Amino acid sequence: TAVGSKYTFDDKEVILYNLGIGAKRTDLKWVFEGAEGFEALPTFGVVPYFNAEAPFTFDEIVPNFNPMMLLHGEQFLEIKKFPIPTSGTLTSYPSLVEVADKGAAAVVVTRTETKDESGDVVFVNETTTFIRGSGGFGGNPKVTDRGAATAANKPPARNPDKVVEEKTSPDQAALYRLAGDRNPLHIDPAFSSVGGFKDPILHGLCFMGISGKHVYQGFGRFKNIKVRFAGTVVPGQTLRTEMWKEGGKVIFQTKVVETGKLAIAAAAVELAGPDSKL
Ligand code: HDC
């Protein structure tokens, strides 16, 4: 059996994460451990597993691996147990799901279960990485259907039911990286420029967190969230989250206001409902 990677945290990690996805000093329940209802924003579930040691390395599973060419392609997070803890030790168990060959790129899907001290699964994360220049190895071009984790989530034709705009800070990535993703792509221009980006780009999980916060504020607790990172975001740009409620689901997409381009597509949450005993 796998040993797992441990993540020990308290309110400091929770507050740092909440600030990293745009919580304000006035959002007391997200920034002040003494506030009534102090909580981790739901997408905190992507933090404990992030640096878990995988049973493989990218250069073992795709050709021509170059870390500067790696982008986050998609993310699915399932929250299996509420309330989300604000301290403790969680243990994560990563595994490889599959590798798809997109010709010019390789797509790698991993799945990580994160358990609490009583052995209950708290979070499941499925991460898709998009590795430019590592395709063409004769592999299967398509990923397997994994239900909500791969759903197309096409927005309906009507106007969105809710829209929230939020300007990110030029220092957003400098702050978000302290939640655990120290990839130089998000801070070092010498690194990001080799990957094709003049300015360091924002973490996908940071702008997923910002949009997830908009959905949470608008519609309440959700039991899972899936996104496709359709385009890059530069810290300082403004994000516009457009949301459509469709039964127990909220389909959403996120645009960069300054360019009109999509940053998140094919995205949705499944709502947990107020009486959910998850
Ligand atoms: O969509 C393009 C893009 O630039 N997206 C934005 C990427 C981004 O900004 N990500 C976040 C920042 S990077 C980051 O945060 C890294 C982080 O530090 C570490 C993450 C690692 C976590 C590990 C933890 C364990 C791009 C470049 C991704 C694709 O654009 P194109 O090359 O133009 O692709 P396209 O021609 O449209 O499609 C080719 C095939 O690929 C599929 N595809 C497209 N976008 C995808 C994707 N698959 C997965 N994820 C995506 N985002 C298409 O469907 C197509 O396949 P098919 O022909 O079979 O349909």
Task: Determine the distance separating the centroid of ligand 1 and the alpha carbon of 207, expressed in angstroms.
Answer: 15
Relative orientation angle of helices 11-20 and 204-219, to the nearest 10 degrees: 90
**112 Cβ below 6 A of ligand 1:** no
Residue-level pLDDT at 204 = 98
Whether the per-residue pLDDT at 278 is higher than 60: the answer is: no
Helix (H) or strand (E) holding 148, with range, is none
Nearest residue by C-alpha to atom 39 in ligand 1? 102
Task: Determine the distance separating the centroid of ligand 1 and the alpha carbon of 33, expressed in angstroms.
Answer: 37
pLDDT in tens, 115-164: 999 999 999 999 999 999 999 999 999 999 999 999 999 999 999 999 99
pLDDT in tens, 41-99: 999 999 999 999 999 999 999 999 999 999 999 999 999 999 999 999 999 999 999 99
Mutate to test the pocket of ligand 1, among 46, 69, 72, 132 (most ligand atoms within 8 A of CB): 72
- CA 251/CA 156 separation, integer angstroms: 8
Domain boundaries, given as residue ranges, for the chain: 5-271
Selection from 201, 193, 194, 275 nearest residue 234 by Cα: 201
Under 8 Å between Cβ of 218 and 162: yes
**230 Cβ below 6 A of ligand 1:** yes
Tell me the average pLDDT of the chain. 97
Helix (H) or strand (E) holding 241, with range, is strand 238-246
Strand order in the sheet with 222-229: 5-9, 88-101, 105-115, 121-132, 70-79, 222-229, 262-271, 249-256, 238-246, 162-167
Q: What kind of fold does domain 5-271 have according to CATH?
A: Thiol Ester Dehydrase; Chain A (3.10.129)
Mutate to test the pocket of ligand 1, among 154, 229, 234, 261 (most ligand atoms within 8 A of CB): 229
Under 8 Å between Cβ of 199 and 234: yes
Selection from 271, 273, 267, 202 nearest residue 241 by Cα: 267
